Copies of this chain bind each other. A is one copy, B any other.
Amino acid sequence: MMDGAVATPTLSKQRLRLWLRLLRAVRETEGALRVRLKDHGSTLPRFDVMAALARRPEGAAMGELSRMLRVSGGNVTALVDRLEADGLAERRAVPGDRRSSLVALTPAGADAFAAMAEAHEGWIDAAFSSLDAEDLDRMIAGLDRAPDLRRLEDCT
């Protein structure tokens, strides 16, 4: 090992490197989105909830939102509380089941989301403008296979 060759990093080190890159990319992008959403009077978590609701015009149950957004139920309660206080979303009673309610955007919420969503798409397009169609396809394909959480189950 005293020659000048550059050692090939082990697969394991390379996977760790990818993980750190993923973390950096997401944190930087989130930071950029946060400052821009603030100009629209919103935040990233609120935008995420509104995006989920926009895909469910008929309304979504709290548990459904929790699964869609991959955040805890207690968190969804607080986020919807605040959106409701701002008149952007509302809880509607479900006829057959008094345990749950359907959350839906109000007309004001739908309008606010439409404006943000359009701007958001432009921001993402700009942030990832250095990636072409082939880059995108390959990275999306990779992220569809990883992380594989089942492989983690029998780790220490």
- Tell me whether A67 is interfacial, beta carbon within 8 Å: no
Centre residue among A23, A36, A142, A149 by max chain B CB count within 10 A: A142
**A123 CA to B150 CA, complexed, in Å:** 11
The chain B residue with its CB closest to the CB of A25 is: B143
Could you tell me if A129 and B156 are in contact, using CB atoms closer than 8 angstroms? no
Q: Give, as a whole number of angstroms, the nearest-CB distance from A121 to chain B.
A: 6
- Could you list which residues of chain A lie within 8 angstroms of chain B, going by C-beta atoms? 11-12, 14-19, 21-29, 31-32, 36, 70, 119, 121-133, 135-140, 142-149, 151-152, 155-156
Task: Establish whether residues B25 and A25, one from each chain, have CB atoms under 8 Å apart when the complex forms.
Answer: no
Residues from chain B with a CB closer than 8 A to the CB of A126 are 148, 151-152, 155
Complex Cα distance, B148 from A121, in Å, reads: 15
* Contact for A131 among B15, B136, B137, B140, CB less than 8 A: B15
Copies of chain A in the complex: 2
Across the A-B interface, give the 4 residue pairs with the lowest CB-CB distance, nearest first: A127-B147, A21-B143, A15-B128, A126-B151
Interface of A, helix, strand, loop or mixed by DSSP: helix
User: B128, B132, B148, B156: which contacts A127 (Cβ < 8 A)?
Assistant: B148
- Give complex CA distance A52, B23 in Å: 14
Quick one: which of B12, B133, B144, B148 contacts A11, CB cutoff 8 A?
A: B133
| Bound-complex Cα distance A18 to B144 (A) | 10
Query: Is there an interface contact between B151 and A70, defined as CB atoms closer than 8 Å?
Result: no
What are 27 A-B contacts with C-beta separation under 8 Å?
A14-B137, A15-B125, A15-B128, A17-B136, A19-B29, A19-B127, A21-B139, A21-B140, A22-B22, A22-B29, A24-B70, A24-B143, A25-B146, A25-B147, A28-B70, A32-B152, A36-B155, A123-B155, A126-B148, A127-B146, A127-B149, A129-B146, A130-B146, A130-B151, A131-B142, A131-B145, A138-B138
